Amino acid sequence: MLEQLDQTYEEALAALEGLQDEESLLQWRTQYLGKKSPVMQAFSVLRDLSKEERPLVGQRANQVRQALETAMEERREAIKLQALENALQTEKLDVTLPGRPQAVGRLHPVTQTLRRIYRIFAEMGFQVYRSREVETDDYNFTFLNMPAHHPARDMWDTFYTSEEGIILRTHTSPGQIHAMREYHPEPIRVILPGMCFRYEQVTARSEMQFTQVEGLAVGKDITFGDLKGTLSDFARRLFRTEVRTRFRASHFPFTEPSAEMDVECFICSGEGCPVCKHTGWLEILGSGVVHPNVLRFGGYDPAEFTGFAFGMGPERITMLLHQIDDIRNFWRNDLRFLEQF
């Protein structure tokens, strides 16, 4: 009996060795641990055995059963591991297949550029001040030191409305007057973003509608040197810390002296390329010391206060940053263009 059990044990272990799946494992179990298996049969014949034999056989049968059950569990674990191993080996994705496209919302490129400008100037204490798009001739010209028939009015081709003295603003400068009249005699640091209009043919280089950001600082101790410092800081923040700037004398009726700020071309690092038209410089903004008449119209005494103002085009900056050569893209709103920002 004992030998038979040992023999069964050996045989069962050998049979277990080659099993590869759960099904054969169950079959094996029926065969070696089922009711009719020699081990279980051994229990049922115990009572027929002699007193001496009975505990020996019972003990051995228990040992064999436990050993087989343990072996079966081990085998089961091994099969699982093997299956996992196989799965890891065979389940291979083509990682080059495209991901599921997500519908992403974006801000218009001009909004994105405006936000960059807001952020940079906010750090220098300039707050956003907005004003209306349809303006009076006085706010757009007269209060900015351009009385009727002033030659400088030629610099702005203006859309006139059917109402006498009401025009589409040609720049956000009217906001300078609004801000000054609201805040005087407090010092001012504001930037004035918004939509402007010019009577101009729409071409790759000019638009009849465009956004502008102007800036204004008014105080008791503000100089042309401060203008240079502030605007160079802006350029360093917007482009890169090492960028060089230069200031060229220019003319705007509302500033005296006036200056254009160029930054070193960031495409060619000033070496000369088609983007900077081989000058090494890119025109970025116009600026100047606020004209005394503008301060007066704003409610400030020019004997006591000075200030500087500047203006730039977010579209132009966006165009330079991304080397876009046609300004019409901005209001055309072709999604294939907008989705690239």
Partner 1 sequence: MKVPLSWLNDYVDVKDLSIEELAHKLTLAGLEVEQIDFIGLPLPAGERHDFKLSGLAWDKETIVVGEILEVMPHPNADRLVLCRLNDGQQEHVVLTGAPNLFEFKGKGPLEPSLKSPYAKEGATIYDGHQEGFVLTTLKRTKIRGVESYSMICSEKELGISDEHEGIMFLPQDAPTGMPLADYMGDAVLDIAITPNIARNANIFGVARETAAIFKRPLRQPDYTFLAEGEAIDGQVKIEINNPEMNPRFVLGLIRNVEIKASPRWLQHRLKLIGQRPINNIVDVTNYVMFDIGQPLHAFDYDELVSRAGGNPPTIITRAAIPGEKLVTLDGEERRLEDFTTLVCDTAGSHSIAGIMGGLETEVTEKTTTVLLEGANWNYINIRKTLGYLRMHSEASYRFSRGVHPAMAERGVQRGLELMRQTSDGVVSQGLVDAYPLKAEEVVVEITPGDVRRWLGIQMSASEIAELLGRLEFECTVSQDTVQAKVPDHRMDIDSDPINGKADLMEEIARVYGYDNIPETRMTDVLPVQRNTPRLDFEETVRDLLSREGLQEIITYRLTSPDREARRLPPDVEPDSMPYVTVVNPIAVDRYVMRKSIMSSMLEVVESNAKNRERIALFEIGSVFLSSEDGALPDEQPRLGIVLTGPRQLPSWQGASEELYNFYDLKGVVHSMLEGLHIEDVSYETHQYPIFHPGKCAAVKIAGKRVGVIGELHPVVHSQYAFSPYPVLGAFFYLETLFEAAPARHEVRLVSSYPPVLEDIALVVDEHIPAGQVSSLIEQTGGKMLTEVRLFDVYRGEQLGKGKKSLAYSLTYQAEDRTLTDEDVARMRRKIVGRLEREVGAQLRDQ
Q: Which of residues 287-326 bind partner 1 (CB under 8 A)?
A: 289, 291-293, 302-303, 306
Does 277 help bind partner 1 (rule: CB under 8 A)?
yes
Does 82 help bind partner 1 (rule: CB under 8 A)?
no
Does 236 help bind partner 1 (rule: CB under 8 A)?
no
* 277's tokens: 């038209």
Query: Which lies closer to partner 1 via its Cβ, residue 51 or residue 92?
Result: 92
CB 310 within 8 A of CB 257: no
Q: Which of residues 138-157 bind partner 1 (CB under 8 A)?
A: 149, 151-152, 154-155
Does 102 help bind partner 1 (rule: CB under 8 A)?
yes
Does 93 help bind partner 1 (rule: CB under 8 A)?
no
Residue from 2, 159, 184, 267 in contact with partner 1 (CB under 8 A): 159
20 vs 132: CA distance, rounded Å: 81
Greatest distance between any 2 Cα atoms in the chain:
134
CB 231 within 8 A of CB 287: yes
Does 340 help bind partner 1 (rule: CB under 8 A)?
no
* 148's tokens: 């009727």
88: Cβ contacts below 8 Å, ≥ 6 apart: none
Binding piece for partner 1, criterion CB under 8 A, among 37-45, 85-93, 100-108, 316-324: 100-108
Query: Which lies closer to partner 1 via its Cβ, residue 70 or residue 206?
Result: 206
Q: Which of residues 196-215 bind partner 1 (CB under 8 A)?
A: 197, 199-202, 208-209
Query: Which lies closer to partner 1 via its Cβ, residue 65 or residue 291?
Result: 291
Residue from 29, 76, 184, 228 in contact with partner 1 (CB under 8 A): 228
Three-state DSSP class for residue 223: coil
Three-state DSSP class for residue 42: helix
* H or E segment to which residue 18 belongs: none
Binding piece for partner 1, criterion CB under 8 A, among 36-44, 53-61, 223-231, 319-327: 223-231
Residue from 32, 143, 247, 300 in contact with partner 1 (CB under 8 A): 247
Q: Which of residues 4-63 bind partner 1 (CB under 8 A)?
A: none
* CA 156 to the chain's CA centroid: 36
CB 170 within 8 A of CB 196: yes
Does 219 help bind partner 1 (rule: CB under 8 A)?
yes
* CA 188 to the chain's CA centroid: 32
Does 279 help bind partner 1 (rule: CB under 8 A)?
yes
139 vs 142: CA distance, rounded Å: 6
Residue from 127, 185, 205, 240 in contact with partner 1 (CB under 8 A): 127
218 vs 227: CA distance, rounded Å: 11
Query: Which lies closer to partner 1 via its Cβ, residue 95 or residue 97?
Result: 97
Three-state DSSP class for residue 300: coil
